[in-house]
Amino acid sequence: AGHASLVSSTEYSPDGSFIITASGDKTANIWDAATGKLRKTLTGHDGAVTSACFSPNGQRVVTASVDQTARVWSAQLGQSERLLSTLEGHTSWVSAAGFSPDGRRVLTASRDHTARVWDARSGRLLMTLSDHSDEVKGVAASSDGRRIVTGGLDKTVRIFDATTGKLLQSMPSGGAVTGAMFSPDD
């Protein structure tokens, strides 16, 4: 119990102490993983929260929403909720969001057929990856931060240079791609 609508994503904090959940009730909750106790609720989105995840150091959280924004929050417990930045620029739902391995960038995927890369501290848009012909459902950075992978409903997986945004490879899939990640060895 704790959300008033369905939960769309869950993720452990990097140290395994907490779990974050995203919900159709326009919130994300941070839970104690050992006890299940609700520790913090993040409110402020105007639509369902589609995904939520911790930064690599566990100090921040990024949420994505159907309100066409992603938001970066402080994950510090014992403080009231603290919004650090709102990432605005997508023209449709933000399907997913995550951090680069160094935590300095936020990656977002959207129904507007793009993935975007943002400065995690300032919220400034750094680049738009717009090679998909349908909704982008997943986005992730390689462990060295040099490449970005996206997956979309256009039945493709695409790999981009994380510095220039140049498309490096496009791979067809047998069906819609609803997530994206690199293997541990990239």
Question: Residue 37: its pLDDT value, please?
Answer: 95
Token duo for residue 22: 């995203």
- Cβ atoms 143, 101 nearer than 8 A: yes
Give ∠ CA 182-185-186 in degrees, rounded to 5.
35
Question: Residue 94: its pLDDT value, please?
Answer: 98
What parts of the chain have a pLDDT lower than 70? Answer: 79-80
pTM metric for this prediction: 0.94
> CA–CA separation, 3 vs 9, rounded Å?
12
Question: Residue 184: its pLDDT value, please?
Answer: 86
Question: Residue 80: its pLDDT value, please?
Answer: 67
> CA–CA separation, 157 vs 150, rounded Å?
6
